[in-house]
Structure 1
Amino acid sequence: MKVHQTDFSKGNVYRNILEVSIPMTLAQLLNLLYNVVDRMYIGRIPGAGATALTGVGICFPVITMITAFTYLFGNGGSPLCAMELGRGNHEEAEKLMGNTFSMLLISSIILMAVSYLFYKPILYAFGASDVTFPYAGDYITIYLIGTPFVMISLGLNPFINCQGFGNMGMLTVLIGAVLNIILDPIFIFGLHMGVRGAALATIISQICSGIWVLRFLTGKKVTLRLNRLAMVIEWARVKEIMALGISGFMMQFTNGLVQIFCNSTLHIYGGDIYVGVMTVLNSVRDIATMMVHGLTNGASPVMSFNYGEKAFGKVKQAIKFVTVVCFSYALFVWGIIKIMPEFFIKLFNNDPTLLEKGVPALHIYFFGFCFMALQFTGQAVFVALGKAKRATFFSIFRKVIIVVPLTVLLPRVGGLGVDGVFWAEPISNLIGGCACFFTMLATILPELKEK
C-alpha cells in the first residue's frame, strides 16, 4: 500500500478530515470483525451456539475494561502529540509517543497477570452460570495471552493517524481482521476447537497487528520514530497523558461496568437467554456506531493539530462538519434498525427463542439512537482540544450517574422487568448526549471566537 501523509496545516479542513476518517472508518469496520466475526461463528456452533454465544458475551466486560487502558494512554498521548506537531515541537511529540508505549507495555503485563489469577470469580460475578462458565472460561484464558499485543496495536495506532498516515492506520487493523476471518472457521469448525478456536484466531491476529505497528513506527517513513530514549518514563509527562486519556478510559471502562450490571440484572429477571440477547444488542451497537467512531477519531487529530497551530476557524469548521454528518448518519441507522430488526439478530444466531426475545429488545435499545452521536461528537471535541476535566465528567455522567442506576431501578418500576434494562440505554443517550454536546457548544465556541 502506498504511504500517503496528510498535511493538516494545508488545504480544506473537510478534505483533511475525510482523508484521515475514511481509512479510519474502514479500520473501525475491520476492527469490528475481530469480535463480531467471532460471535457470528460462535453462534453457529452445532448444538451449543446460543449457550456458547452467551458465555463469550460474559467475557466482554473483562475485554472492555482491559481495552480501557489503551484509551487511557493511547487516546491521551496522541492528541497531545498532534498538538506538539502543530507547534513544530517534534522532540516532545516523540517523547509523548515513547512514554505511551512504555505505559501500554507495563500495564498490559499487569492486567494479564491479574486477570489470570481472578478470572473465575470475575466471570461468575459478571453473570456467568454453571452452564455458561465453561464457554466463558475457555475463551478468556486463551484470549488473555494476546493482551500486550492488542494494547500495543490499539494504543499506538492513533500515533500513526496523528502523523497523517491514515491508510497505514487502516492497514494495521486490516492485517488482523483478515487473518481473524481466515483462521476463525479453520479453528472453530475445521479443528473442532469451538470457542477456544475463536480466541486462538483472535490472539494470532492481534500479535500480527502489534508487530506491524511497531515495525512501521520504528521505520524510516514516519515523521516521529519510536526509539529507546523516548521510552524512558517521565512521570510528569505520563500524568499529562493520563489526565487527557482518563475521559476515554472512563467511557470504555464504564461501558464494561454497564455490561456487568446489565448481564447480572438480566440474569435475575430473564435468565441466560436475555444475557445472550444483550450480547447480540452490543454487537449490533458496535456495527451501528462504526462510522461515528471512525469520523470522530479521524477528526480528532485534525482538530488537535489546528488547535495547536492556532487555526481556530478550521477547528470550528471541523466541529460543524462532524456534528452534521454524525447526527444524520445515526438518524439513518435508527431507521434501518427499526425497519429490519430480524436481519441484525440473524447475523449472529437463528435460534427462534433468541429472535422472539431479541426483536422487542432491539426496538427499545435503539430508540432515539441519534442522540448517541451527540455524546460522541461532544466527547471527541473535548479530548481533541485537551479539555480533560470536561471530557472525563461527561464520560462518568452518562454511564455511571445515569445508566447504572436506571439499569438496576427500572426493572422494578411498573413491572418492566427485562425491558427496564433495555430502556436505560435510550434514556441515557438523550440526557447524557444532549448535556455533553450543548455544554461543548456553550464553552468551546466562545473560547475559539475570543482566541
Structure 2
Amino acid sequence: MARVSAEDLGTQPIGKLLIKQAVPASIGILVMSLNIIVDTIFVGNWIGSIAIAAINVVLPVSFFIAALGMAIGIGGSSIISRALGANDKEKALKSFGNQLSLTLLLTIVLVFFGLLFVEDIIPKFGGKGAIYEPAKIYYTIVLYGVPFLALCMMGNNVIRAEGKPKFAMIAMIIPSVGNLILDYILIYVFDFGMAGAAWATTLSYLLCFGYILWFFMSENSELKINLSHFNLSKKITSEIASLGSVTLARQAVVSIIYLFMNNILFDIGGESSVAVFGIISRVMMFALFPVLGITQGFLPIAGFNYGARSYSRVKETINTSVLYASGLAIVIFVFLMVFTEQIVSVFTKDATVIDQTVYAMKWVFLAVPIVSVQLIGSAYFQAIGKAIPALLLTLSRQGFFFLPLVLILPYFYGEFGVWISFALADFLSTILTAYFINREVRLKLNTTSD
C-alpha cells in the first residue's frame, strides 16, 4: 500500500484528493453498513422479527457510549489535522495521547453504570413485552465490547486525519467481515440465538481494535507517542471536548429519538411497528454510505487547508464535496423509491411488517436529494474548529426539528406523523445550513487571501 503523507492534503488537486479520501471512507462505511444490514437479515430470518426490535432497543445505548470514542476521535482529529497543516507535530502527538486517555476513562465508567442499571434502561428504550428478554441478553453481552468499539471509532478518525484513508477503510472492514462470519457460526451453526448475535458483535470489535493497535505501533503511523502524551492537558481536552461535543450531542439526540420512537411506535402499533423502525434505521445507515464517505473525506482536507490558511482550497473543497454528494444522493433516492419492496422483503417474510415498512420508507427518504448540503455544511464548521455553529447545525436536523415534529405530529396523524417528520426535518435543517455556510464563505473565505 502506497505511503500517503499528510502534506498531500494541502498540495494535490481537490477533486482527485476528495476521491482519494472519500472512496476508502465510503467503502469502509458500505462494508460496515452491509454488516449491520446482513446482521439484521440473519437475526430476522434465523431468530425472528422480535429480535430485530430487540437489537433496535439496544443500539442507542451501546452506540451512545461508542459515540464518545467517535466524538473524541473527530474532535481530536480536527486538532491533529490543523496542527499538521501548521507543522506543529508536538500538538498533534499530545492530542492523540489525550484522546486515548479520555476514551478509556469515559467509556469504562459508562459501561459500569450501563450494566448496573440494565433493568431500568431497557424498558425505557422500548424494550417492553416480548422484546424485553432478547433485548436484555443482547445488551448485556454487547456492552462488554463497547469500550473497544469506542477506541476503534476514535482511532479510525485519527488514521484519517493522518491522511491514511486506506488503512481507515480496512479498520472498518475487519469487524464487519468478522461479525458476519461469527454470526453464521454462532447463530446458524451453534444455534446460540440472541447470545450468539451479541458475542459475534463483541468479538468483531476486538478484531478491529487489534488492527488499529497494530497500525499505530507500526511504521505506517506518523504519530509515535510516549507516556507523557497521555497526561491530560486542560487546553487540549477542552478543545477536544468543545469540538467532540458536536458528534456526542448528535448521538445523544439520536439515542433520545430512539427512546421516543420505540415507545411511540410501540404504543401505536406494538412490536411490529418497532420492527418497522428497526428495518428503516438499518436502511438509513446503508443508503447514504457514499454521501457519508464524502463527508468523512471532506473533514481532513478542509481542516488541513484551513490550518494552512489556504482558504481558496477550503472553498473549492466545500463546492466539490457538495456537488459530488448531491449527485450521489439523487441516485440513491431514485433507487430507494423504485426498489422499496424488494429492499424490505430481504429483512423479513412477515407480510404485515413488509407492507408497513414499504409505506413508511416512501416518506422517510423523501428529502434524501438535499441532505448532502446539511451534512457537508455542518461538517465544515467542525473541521475548522468552530464548535458552536457546528453543534447548532448538527443538532438542527434531529434535535431542533425532528424531535418536536415526532412528538407533535403523531397526535394528529398517527403513524404517518412519525414517518413524515423525517422528511420535514431534513428540509428545514438543509435550508438553515445552506444559509450559514453561504454566509461563512462570503465573510471568511472570499475576503481572506491565501
TM-score range, shorter chain: over 0.9
Residue 28 (structure 1) aligns with: 29
Moved more, 258-267 or 1-10: 1-10
Deviations 1:99-146 (A, max 9, x none): 011101111101111110112211101111121111111111110111
Counterparts of 1:71 and 1:393, CA distance in 2: 18
- Cα distance in structure 2, aligned partners of 1:206 and 1:4: 26
* Corresponding position of 1:13: 14
Hey, what's the Cα distance between the residues in 2 that align with 1:52 and 1:127?
A: 13
Question: What one-letter code is carried by the residue in structure 1 that aligns with 2:232?
Answer: I
TM-score by length of 1: 0.96
Structure 1 equivalent of residue 417 of structure 2? 420
2-structure distance, mates of 1:231, 1:214: 16
Q: Deviations over 1:242-301 (max 9, x none)?
A: 111111111122112111111111111111100000000001110112111111111110
After superposition, residues 216-295 of structure 1 pair within 5 angstroms as: 216-295=215-294
The residue that corresponds to 2:329 in the other structure is 330
The equivalent of 1:175 in structure 2 is 174
TM-fit CA distance, 1:5: 4.2
Given candidates 422, 439, 447, the residue that maps to 2:444 is 447
CA distance in 1, matches of 2:105, 2:270: 38
Partner of 1:93: 92
Aligned to 1:311: 310
**SS where residue 397 of structure 2 aligns?**
helix
Q: Which residue identity does 1:269 align to in structure 2?
A: I
Asked if the contact 1:399/1:428 (under 8 Å) is kept, the reply is yes
Q: Bigger shift: 367-376 or 89-98?
A: 367-376
Letter in 2 for 1:443: E
Instruction: Give the Å deviation of 1:225.
Output: 1.8
Tell me if structure 1 keeps the 8 A contact 2:337–2:362. yes
C-alpha distance in structure 2 between counterparts of 1:435 and 1:342, whole Å? 33
Which amino acid in the other structure matches residue 449 of structure 1?
N
Q: CA deviation at 1:3?
A: 4.5
* Residue equivalent to 2:396: 397
SS at match of 1:371: helix
2-structure distance, mates of 1:72, 1:339: 36
- CA displacement at 1:67 relative to structure 2: 2.6
Question: Cα distance, 1:418 vs. partner?
Answer: 0.8
2:10 is paired with a residue whose SS is coil
8 Å CA contact 1:75–1:155 kept in 2: the answer is: yes
Runs of 4+ displaced beyond 3 Å: 1-6
Percent of aligned pairs with the same amino acid: 26
What are structure 2's unaligned runs of at least 5 residues?
Answer: none
Amino acid of the structure 1 residue aligned with 2:33 = L
Alpha-carbon distance between aligned partners in 2 of 1:326 and 1:240, rounded to the nearest angstrom: 29
The answer to whether 1:194 aligns with 2:197 is: no
Distance 2:75 2:345 in 1: 38
Aligned equivalents of 1:196, 1:366: Cα separation in 2: 33
What RMSD, in angstroms, separates the aligned Cα atoms of the two structures? 1.4
Query: Which of 417, 429, 444 lines up with 1:432 in the alignment?
Result: 429
Q: Given that residues 4 and 167 in structure 1 are in contact (C-alpha distance below 8 angstroms), is that contact kept between their aligned partners in structure 2?
A: no
Partner of 1:38: 39
What is the letter of the counterpart of residue 11 of structure 1? Q
Partners of 1:316 and 1:445 within 8 A in 2:
no
Residues 78 and 303 of structure 2 are in contact (CA less than 8 Å); yes or no, is this contact kept in structure 1? yes
Asked if the contact 1:397/1:432 (under 8 Å) is kept, the reply is yes
Change (3 A) 1:112 1:33: farther
Number of residue-to-residue matches in the alignment: 447
Structure 1, gaps ≥5 residues long: none
C-alpha distance in 1 between matches for 2:226 and 2:348: 47
8 A Cα contact 1:218 1:226, kept in partner: no
Under a length normalisation based on structure 2, what TM-score does the superposition of the two structures give?
0.96
- Greater shift in the superposed pair: 8-17 or 164-173: 8-17
